[in-house]
Each structure stands twice: as structure tokens, then as C-alpha cells.
Amino acid sequence: MMGGYRGLDWGYGMMGGGAWSGLLMLLFGVLVVAGIVLLVIWAVRASAGHGGTGSPPPPPAGHDDAIAIARRRLAAGEITPEQYEEIVAALGR
């Protein structure tokens, strides 16, 4: 009768909203994925704390600090004078 009329299907797809519904679904999908990514980033950063103290870890001991530590260990009797000399020689002083 109406020349190819098939009910309410006017070529807009399953949702009946045309291009706008497709764009809205795409936008919603992007927002969900972005939210998941941000949640993962937040969780990783929160779990990588410094033991809960809020302060950064101390810097690694430098050359002079290593000599001072060896000297203190020698004075405390933890190492022998020969071991102390080996440490100092290994450090290049």
C-alpha cells in the first residue's frame, strides 16, 4: 500500500535514535574506560607510598658517608682494621 513501508523501522537502527544515539553510546563508553584507567592509576599511586610516613626515603650514602660508616663500624668493633683498609681501598681513597 504505502510503497515499501515496513512499520516503524525508518533506517535508524535498533535504538531508533539515529546518529545521536550512537554518538551518545560511544561517549558513554569512552567515559567508562577513562574512569577505569584513572581508578587504576590512583590505586597504583596510592599503594606505592613510602611506608605511610609521608616523608621521602633518605638519599643513598655517598662516598664520604661510606667512609664514615666504615670508620664507625671499625670503632664499634664490627670490622677489623684490615677490613676497614679493604673498604677504604675499594672506595678509592
Contact 52, 39 (CB under 8 A): no
Q: What is the pLDDT of residues 28-81, one digit of tens each?
A: 999 999 999 999 999 888 887 645 555 666 655 577 888 889 999 999 999 999
CB atoms within 10 A of CB 70: 20
pTM for the full model?
A: 0.37
Q: What is the pLDDT of residues 58-73, one digit of tens each?
A: 655 577 888 889 999 9
**d(Cα 73, Cα 78) in Å, to the nearest integer?**
5
